[in-house]
């Protein structure tokens, strides 16, 4: 709600409350392990869709392979959604069951 300020002359000025420019919420894109997708394909997806370098892509793939899940990247919601779709479409085109999900990062205070 706008505040109303009155000066000595009786003029009333409406002051718009400052709009807080919040940072957009960020989402982690999670990569899930399965028994059928090849390691090479996962590395390729991390490279082409998530722009990870070779060593980083291998590190993330191995982490997912050993622990079951890992972070492919962190993005705004629409970018994260698009990358999940691209990666899953690529996987399906080669009949791999690779699965990706996204989850919001916890909110940081200003």
Name the CA radius of gyration of the chain, rounded: 23
Q: What is the C-alpha separation between 21 and 19, in angstroms, rounded?
A: 6
- Based on the shown chain and the rule CB under 6 A, indicate whether residue 33 belongs to the binding site for ligand TYC: yes
Q: Give the x-and-dash track for 42-81 against ligand TYC (CB under 6 A).
A: x------------------x--xx----------------
Q: How far is the CB of 31 from ligand TYC (least distance, A)?
A: 4
34 touching ligand TYC, by CB under 6 A: yes
Asked if residue 65 lies in contact with residue 33, where contact means CB atoms within 8 angstroms, the answer is yes
Which residue from 79, 98, 94, 67 is spatially nearest to 29, judged by alpha carbons?
79
- Residues in contact with ligand TYC by CB under 6 A are 31-35, 37-39, 42, 61, 64-65, 98
């Amino acid at each position: 709600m706008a505040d109303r300020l009155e000066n000595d002359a009786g003029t009333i000025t409406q002051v718009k409350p400052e709009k807080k420019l919040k940072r957009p919420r960020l989402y982690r894109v999670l990569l899930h392990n399965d028994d059928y997708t090849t390691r090479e394909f996962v590395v390729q997806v991390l490279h082409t869709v998530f722009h990870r370098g070779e060593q980083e892509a291998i590190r993330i793939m191995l982490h997912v392979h050993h622990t079951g899940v890992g972070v492919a990247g962190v993005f705004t919601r629409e970018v994260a959604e698009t990358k999940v779709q691209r990666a899953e479409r690529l996987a399906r085109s080669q009949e791999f069951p690779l699965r990706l999900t996204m989850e919001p990062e916890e909110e940081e205070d200003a």
